Structure formats: structure tokens, C-alpha cells
A = this chain, B = another copy of it.
């Protein structure tokens, strides 16, 4: 790492800080004679979740997503402590001050100086031809693309007799969002030569548009081509969805200038108004994590003779997507992925049974 110019010393320091913060949480809990089991990422599983009365995630927002991913019990509280405040925004965690004074958080919990916050989550049904593979047990290492595909094809053909293509409820609940898009291959070649002219041995398309059909709230199916579809929760409205949809100060200024000129408007166009409009617009993209509604966004929609996009985004209760992709997937919270190729149909919705129980401490 150091050879590459990476900040190895910085990484080591952050690890030290994290470890110290974890110790602090452990000590605080054990001082209250609360039995604590410390598990790392790879040991964390549903059995551990069942054993616990509550789960504390020690890390950043990513660790919270991982912690939540194994919790399916609406009444199992998950509390996030941000042990890496320099690096993580900690949207899903307790305010940063509790990281160094966790006993204070514990006292508030004892005294009832908090309220439950049920963060709604998204569930996924999958159906269609060719989506009924038996589980392929892959190790936590990289298979070659070829080996991986072969494994799937073999399984799929073996299972054709029991081809039950009714909707399957996938064993995941999205706390942030579901993202659907073409898989992007890592097959690339570094072809730099010092002295000779370079001959790329193969080319590939890194950015491939995703083709699919979408139906919102049981509305008519619409063919679309875009850089992907994001369906988020109130929790996720602050995450990737926000970055997809927010407008830049610069763009708002340009739009208002054009409107002023073309509408022959008598508009006092100053920085204050631009900032106000930008902030209000961007804030309207966020909503309460407890609201049982989803927000869908189409990323970089391609509009031409064939494809249309009546609405680029909006709230909905249900989104159905029919894949017309070659090599796409559905990604849950940036962490788990499901194959989603031509012929597969996904139904996406919120069920309040799936909510995640978290806490909001009184301030």
C-alpha cells in the first residue's frame, strides 16, 4: 500500500481509533452486567441474531447495513455506533458524541428517554423463466466469470423438471435501496507500453445501458433504457438516491436564467434565491424513514424514438420490473446481488412487517 502512495499510516490510525471505540462500547455494556458477544463480519449470522436481545453495530453506515441484513424480526432492536466518524457520515448511527460516552446512551435507554424508530424496508419478489436455480454454494473468493456462469447453467438445467416459476420472496430486506442495472464487467486490460504502439487485445463496454420494462403502482408497462433504476426507502432517500436526484447550484442558476430570459420575467435573480431554491428542491428529496412508501429514480434515462420515460422519479407503493438485460442484477443495499436477466420479473414493495427496529435517543 505504501509503495502505491496510499496513506498506510492513516489507515492504521483509523483502525486503532475504531478498535479503541469498540473497547469502549464493550466496557460500557459489561459494566452494566450486560452479556455481550463480539462478532466480526464473517461470524455474524442469523444464529447470533437469534441469541441476542439487541444488536449494536460498531462501524459506519456500511456496518449498520450489514447488521440489519441479518435481522428479520421486527422487534429486535439494532443500534448503530459510529466508530469511524472521520470516514462515515453515520446517518444510520447514533449521534457521534455517544461514540465516546456510550454509558450516556445506555442510561437513556434504561430511563426510557428514547423512542422506537421503525425504519421501513423493501421486499422483493422474483418470478419468470430461467430464474429457478438451486443454490450455488460459492466460496468467498472470486470465480472466473466462466466458472460462475457454468455453475449456474448446470444447476438451471438440472432443475428444469421442477420449474416452479411463481413469485419467490427473496430472503433480503433493503434498508436503503434496491438498484437494478446491467452488471459491469471487470474484464479490462491495461495496455500501456513504453516504446511500442499498443494493441488492445480485447475491448468491452464498461458502461452498458440497462433495458427493462417498468410498471409503477400497477400502471401500464413502459419500455426504458437507462443507467439503472433505484428504488429506495425513506432511510435510503438520504443515500444513493439523493446523489442521483439532487441538483447543483449551478444548474438551478442556469435554469432560472433561461426562464427569466425566455419567459421575459421580471425576476430578481440573485445568489440568495438560487441557494434557497436549490436547498428546498434537494431537501424535498428526503422523507421520513418510517413512511411506508418507496421513491423510485431512473438514472440517466435515454429518450429517443424507441424508449420513453414518462416519469423520471416519484413515490410509489409498488414497482414491477421486467428485465430485458443480458447480464444484469438487482443489488440490495450495495451489498447483496441477484441475477436479473431477460425473462425475469421483479415485484418491489414495502411491507410494514419488515420494518427494522432502531432507536432515537431524546436530546
Contacts and interface: CB of A to CB of B under 8 A. Distances in A.
A168 interface: yes
A139 interface: yes
Contacts of A197: 46, 171
A302 to B, nearest CB: 6
A312 B136 CA distance: 43
Interface string A276-309: 1100110010000000000000001110100001
Nearest to A338: B190
Contacts of A187: 142-143, 148, 186
Interface in A4-56: 4-6, 46
A197 B148 CA distance: 21
B338 A302 contact: no
A351 interface: no
Given A142-B144, A183-B186, A206-B334, A3 B129 contact: yes
B250 A311 contact: yes
A268 interface: yes
A201 to B, nearest CB: 5
Nearest to A340: B190
A246 B186 CA distance: 28
A226 B170 CA distance: 30
Interface string A327-340: 10101001111110
Contacts of A68: none
Contacts of A141: 202
A190 B152 contact: yes
A190 B339 contact: yes
A319 to B, nearest CB: 17
Nearest to A142: B145
Interface in A155-213: 162, 164, 168, 170-172, 179, 183-194, 196-207
Main secondary structure of the interface of A (DSSP, over half): loop
Contact of A258 (B6, B142, B277, B342): B277
A362 interface: no
B255 A331 contact: no
A123 to B, nearest CB: 13
Contacts of A363: none
A207 B182 CA distance: 12
A338 B191 contact: yes
B243 A130 contact: no
Contact of A255 (B188, B255, B309): B255
A360 interface: no
A230 to B, nearest CB: 10
A143 B144 contact: yes
A269 to B, nearest CB: 9
A300 B243 contact: yes
25 contacts: A4-B342, A4-B343, A46-B197, A133-B190, A133-B192, A135-B193, A135-B198, A135-B199, A139-B201, A140-B201, A140-B202, A143-B187, A145-B186, A162-B194, A179-B207, A190-B339, A203-B335, A204-B337, A206-B331, A227-B243, A248-B309, A255-B281, A258-B277, A258-B284, A263-B268
Interface of A: 3-6, 46, 66, 89, 126, 128-148, 152, 162, 164, 168, 170-172, 179, 183-194, 196-207, 227, 240, 243-244, 247-248, 250-252, 254-256, 258-259, 262-263, 265-268, 273, 276-277, 280-281, 284, 300-302, 304, 309, 311-313, 327, 329, 331, 334-339, 341-343
